[in-house]
Amino acid sequence: MSDGSSRSTVVGGGGRKPITAADVAAQTGGRLVGDPAVVIRGVAPLDRAAPDELGFLSHRRYAEWFATTRAGVVIVGESLANATAPACTLVFVEKPADAMLGVLAMFRREEPRVTGVHPRAVLADDVVVGDGVSVEAGAVVADGVVLGDRCWIGANATIGAGTRIGADARVHPNASVHAWCEIGDRVVIHSGASIGREGFGYVPTERGIARIPHIGRCVLEHDVDIGANSCIDRGSVDDTIIGAGTKIDNLVHVAHNVRIGRMCLIASGVGIAGSTRIGDGVQFGGQAGINGHITIGSRATIAGQAGVFGDVPAGETWSGYPARPHREQLRAAAALVRLGRLIRPLERLLSREDAS
């Protein structure tokens, strides 16, 4: 058990053999300066790395930690080559993030996976099970489900009737995928996510509030990720569709009939109301709220906590409440701060004007 004061390093999986600085240079194609024989056993932030660990400098913000790090080896972006360097082995690379990806993968411990259906999983009689599928204990898979090749259904996850799960997809423990969803290849659905429930649609009638029957599907195209406890509702009169390659963080809400394009990034806590359409490559900061029945153009950026009420043109950056182009928002925010200092003399001036 770590307590706050102890050193807490990230180490690779047990049994992995240590690697050398030369291995790092070979893996990344980088330019090595220093001792190629230095041995590393893990990765750590520059300010906490030990002599047998690898550090990583990708941004000038961390130059101070770089100068004083105890790391045995540091990967450094070529553009930061003039930063004050510590007396350790350096590996210079063009793209430090890409380089780090490869090195991290060398240390990553794979979760144990058993192929086949666990005897304590529950599959209906007519489930189609692809090759190399894993279904963990407690998972419940309903009638008519198709499990694509090599997909992995986690412990206690549930898959509703008629849903299709793509090849190499993963549904994490305790996630709920409802009936008649279409889940693409390589999709990842994290723990506790709710996919394809009937959405929040009601109509006041003479006999009280009636639920709107939902006859649309919920479609997650290939390579979509859905974060833990996020909710993607099925469509009412339309499908809800998340476009290929779009990545959604934890605790995000996507309402019925929403269509999201390809390769969007949606940070935690975002809410998107019903029937809104979102283009390709749109990025959402955390906790942004998007109104229903509007359109967000491709490659737009929505800042964190923004409250978006109307259409956002393609490629623009909007922020604030109500959301406006970010430049206008900054000007208004700056004016407000200056106003705090002006308001009293201003009131005095205006009352003199009134009096005169």
172 flagged as catalytic = no
Q: Which stretch binds a copy of itself (CB under 8 A): 23-31, 63-71, 85-93, 95-103?
A: 95-103
Q: Which is nearer to a copy of itself, 44 or 85 (CB)?
A: 44
User: Does residue 346 interact with a copy of itself by CB under 8 A?
Assistant: yes
Element at 26 (helix H, strand E): helix 21-28
Q: Is 198 helix (H, G, I), strand (E, B) or coil?
A: coil
- Of positions 291, 295, 298, 317, contacts a copy of itself by CB under 8 A: 291
Contact 291, 273 (CB under 8 A): yes
- What is the rounded distance in angstroms from the CA atom of residue 299 to the CA atom of residue 317? 9
Cis ω on the peptide bond leading into residue 322 (within 30° of 0)? Answer: yes
Position 60 contacts a copy of itself (CB under 8 A):
no
If one asks whether residue 322 binds a copy of itself (CB under 8 A), the answer comes out as yes
Q: What single string gives the DSSP state of each residue in 72-131?
A: SEEEEEGGGTTSPPPSSEEEEES-HHHHHHHHHHHHPPPPP---EE-TTSEE-TT-EE-T
> Would you say 135 and 119 are in contact if contact means Cβ atoms under 8 Å apart?
no
Q: Which stretch binds a copy of itself (CB under 8 A): 20-28, 33-41, 310-318, 320-328?
A: 320-328
Q: Per CB under 8 A, does 86 bind a copy of itself? A: no
Whole-number Å distance between alpha carbons of 31 and 230: 43
Return the number of the residue (101 or 128) whose C-beta is nearest a copy of itself.
101
Q: Does 94 bind a copy of itself (CB under 8 A)?
A: no
Task: Give the footprint of a copy of itself on residues 147-206 (CB under 8 A).
Answer: 154-156, 158, 160-161, 164, 166, 172-176, 178-180, 182, 184-185, 190-194, 197, 200, 202-203, 205
Q: Token digits for 124?
A: 């209906």
Task: Decide: is 225 part of the binding site for a copy of itself (CB under 8 A).
Answer: yes
CB environment 215-239: b (16+ within 10 A), e (fewer): ebbbbbbbbbbbbbbbbbbbbbebb
* Cβ closest to a copy of itself, residue 119 vs residue 131: 119
Query: Shortest Cβ distance from residue 301 to a copy of itself (Å)?
Result: 15
Number of residues that bind a copy of itself (CB under 8 A): 141
Q: Is 57 in the site for a copy of itself (CB under 8 A)?
A: no
Q: What is the set of active-site residues?
A: 256
